[in-house]
Amino acid sequence: ASAGTDLVDAYNDFDYIMPWKCRRVNGALDENGDFDVVAIEGEPYFSLDGTNGNVFVERPKFYYKYVFADDYFEVWICTEQLEGYHLPKRFVKSDGTVADVIYKACYKMGLDGSGNPTSVSGKNTMLTYTLGQGLTKARTLSDYYCLETTYDRQIEELLFMVEYATRDTRSVMSGASNLA
């Protein structure tokens, strides 16, 4: 696995296997909190600019297991529920049923021309909201919208640890942490 930058694309085997393999979709939550996909990346009507809805990442369900030994710690990932494996809580719906896929906004929350929250490419995401204000703004779309949750972070961290064989994100993608 390798990480890309703004200037260099990286080839990564994990991009082609479940559950790392995701797809971008246009869609929205309906009045019941179910996600309606309007278009999938690669289809003619898919759009990054909001003309066919907000852009979300579709993540398939997976299970994880922590493995501890005297001198190491591992995370194992599986697409089936085997003995000792757990489902990340983000896949459990509010009614207790399990979702086969989940959807997360692809972009940070921006605002469209009417001041509505949006997840599209090219929108100003430098919003100055408190957590409560941001949540209130997201919920103007529906009571089912929210900001990133700890359950979302759990998924990203589990998959990162397996993909890069480390918990130290800065050792893989340091970003602005190493400026002089």
At 139-168, the pLDDT tens digits run 777 666 777 788 888 999 999 888 888 776
Predicted confidence band of residue 57 (pLDDT cuts 50, 70, 90): very high
At 16-54, the pLDDT tens digits run 888 988 899 999 887 777 889 999 999 999 999 888 889
The count of other CB atoms within 10 Å of the CB of residue 65 is 14
Residue 174's pLDDT is what? Answer: 66
Residue 158's pLDDT is what? Answer: 93
Is the pLDDT confidence value at 114 over 90? no
Residue 170's pLDDT is what? Answer: 67
Average pLDDT over residues 99-126: 84
Residue 179's pLDDT is what? Answer: 57
